Structure 1
Amino acid sequence: MTVSTDYTAQEIIVVAGAKVLEDNKIVFVGTGLPMVASLLASRTHAPGLIPVFEAGAVGPPLKHGLPVSVGDSRTFTGASYVKGLNGAFELTQRGFADFGFIGGAEVDMYGNLNSTMMGDFPAGYQKPKVRLPGSGGASDMAASCERTILIVPHDKKKFNEKLSYVTSPGHLDGSPNARYNAGMQGKGPYRLITTKGIFDFEEKTKRMRLIQMFPGETVESIQAATGFELLIADNVTEFPAPTVEEVRLIREEIDPNGVFVKRAAK
């Protein structure tokens, strides 16, 4: 396969997210890049991937274009069944969602996500520095899906030891059985994909750990862009650049209008 030399940061995130997804698994898909990554996975190595959307559609083939929201009519076309929002979340609470795929604006070392507000909480909640979109169904997905895949742009202002607000729970404080003691059934964050690399969460401490770097990055450059100390895997590897075919699929078939994957300025 020919490797592309013409790809954007968003495109390598999409490719990395797609490769984390496995064939014949159920993925609860959030809005945005998770949609693009799920479509790419289903068109490459995971044709049996079963997407679930918050508005209630389960298993649509998504042959009529990229949905622009979880309630887009394209998520319902050809779906195995549609049961509404309550039915979708009931499915996750019964343990039938292998992956939850969500994004956020801020993350800490235990994979807790903030997509609500930036500023001092609770005093600044009504007048935050930045008001973010909020949870939607992300908090429920983070609590109940078997494993979650997170997407966060890599920036020192977004990778903080303490979040302004915890919207979607990760491994909480990292203590043993923290999620179980809080009443959550899912295992929590499985992978974090950023604009610099891919991370997992170390089994004992539940702390964020670098496992793969994107081309052009080093352990030092990634740590310098992170507001807390990262764990580093013993065998960190370089994630391969997207192939020409993967980039073509994203640009020409999956998101040709650049709804979620923006084109580089010429």
Structure 2
Amino acid sequence: MSRFSATEMMTIAAARALTNDDVVFVGIGAPSAACNLARLTHAPDITLIYESGTIGTKPDVLPLSIGDGELCETAVTTVSVPEMFRYWLQGGRISVGFLGGAQIDRFGNINTTVIGDYHTPKIRLPGGGGAPEIASSCQKVFITMKQSLRGFVDKIDFYTSFGHGEGGDHRKRLGITTQGPMLLVTDLAVWEPDPIRKEFTVTSLHPGVTRDAVQATVGWTVAFADSVTETPPPTTEELDVLRALHARTDAAHGKKEKAA
């Protein structure tokens, strides 16, 4: 078995969740790496969509932002941002929204707006962009983030992207008909929401990771599934393709783009 990093395991495990039939609204960073890895390996017919309006894009390198020319140059077509959101996203034509975040809670609510009080924040983050609409309008949402006490918090400082709210049927009570966050892949584990409570629950630990290691990086008492499996380690093909993708990206962007 080839040696691999925790970040590589996270990206590969997230990529495996995608299929040829998916139409995916892709976030920049770790979600972009996972989605393009899926496209370059087991899901060559997947349709990747970025917020700037690029549909069916097949970038050779990972984009620095949604406005990266690589996305438009390799897309099947590019539409206006209003059309992207109104027709494609709000029209229910996107199966998976793939997001990251600065903070997340046990119900998959995401903060990318501020750390601390909104009016006097400790840190002003990039903001929501299209993430709030993605979280409510895509059929389901996948999230990928590295675990840390700073990021996995009992209560997020700001609701940028609504997950399962307070849990249970909160989305339904608000009139949101999509499934919401259905998968969380981290550098340590794979999480899925409890069918009833909607609290994210660890269903798989990455190779060599213990339950204590997961709990040590989370600001709430972690729920573990009745049967926790071990995430299959990366294959040689998955590692080779992912590393080649990052190498091309580093060469194209002067090493500004790093593995997320």
Q: Which amino acid aligns with 1:261?
A: A
Q: Which amino acid aligns with 1:135?
A: G
Give deviations 1:214-263, integer Å, cap 9, x for gaps: 1221123212321112221122111122223322212223553151316x
Q: Which amino acid aligns with 2:135?
A: A
1:182 aligns with 2:174: yes
CA–CA distance in 2 between the matches of 1:28 and 1:255?
24
Cα deviation for residue 182 of structure 1 reads 2.2
Provide the secondary structure at the position in 1 that maps to 2:73: coil
1:131 aligns with 2:130: no
1:228 to 215, 220, 231: 220
**Contact 1:40 1:254 (C-alpha < 8 Å) held by counterparts:** no
1:73 aligns with 2:85: no
Q: Which amino acid aligns with 1:54?
A: E
**What is the alpha-carbon root mean square deviation over aligned residues?**
1.6
CA–CA distance in 1 between the matches of 2:185 and 2:151?
13
Cα deviation for residue 192 of structure 1 reads 0.6
2:29 to 21, 29, 32: 32
Provide the secondary structure at the position in 1 that maps to 2:121: coil
Give deviations 1:6-28, integer Å, cap 9, x for gaps: x2222111111110111121000
2:158 to 162, 165, 172: 165
1:217 aligns with 2:209: yes
Unpaired segments of 5 or more residues in structure 1? none
Cα deviation for residue 104 of structure 1 reads 0.5
1:193 aligns with 2:190: no
Question: In the alignment, which residue of structure 2 is the partner of 1:251?
Answer: 243
1:4 to 2, 5, 8: 2
CA–CA distance in 1 between the matches of 2:61 and 2:29?
14
Provide the secondary structure at the position in 2 that maps to 1:46: coil
1:155 aligns with 2:185: no
Identical-pair percentage: 34
- Compute the TM-score of the two structures, normalised by the length of structure 2: 0.91
Q: Which amino acid aligns with 1:88?
A: M
2:52 to 48, 51, 55: 55
Provide the secondary structure at the position in 1 that maps to 2:146: coil
Give the count of matched residue pairs: 253
